[in-house]
Amino acid sequence: MERSTRVSVFESDKPSEIQLIKSKLDDAQITNSVENSYLTFTTTPTATSLKIMVDLEDEKNAFQVIDAYLQQSENQ
């Protein structure tokens, strides 16, 4: 069984933003998953950061989708 390397392509503490990026990646047929991780010690212990993870071979395409979304949202 081949194990693929997963990389983080987007992080946020806003679930709505994570969902939006995740749906953009889904639309582009890029397999992804969301992971929780505790933020650094400078934040409250209950605060979590959400990460969107993709396979290493999908990283470039995922960044293109995310960049296009961020540029579009800045122009609005």
CB < 8 Å & 24+ apart, contacts of 34-41: 35/8, 39/13
Domain count, the chain: 1
Rounded-to-integer distance, Cα 54 and Cα 33, Å:
7
pLDDT tens profile 11-44: 998 999 999 999 999 999 999 999 987 655 555 5
CATH number at residue 58: 3.30.70.790
61: which 2 tokens? 């395409």
**Domain assignment of residue 1, yes or no:** no
pLDDT tens profile 55-66: 999 999 999 999
**Domain assignment of residue 2, yes or no:** no
Its domain, for residue 34, covers: 8-75
Q: What is the rounded average pLDDT of the residues 4-15?
A: 92
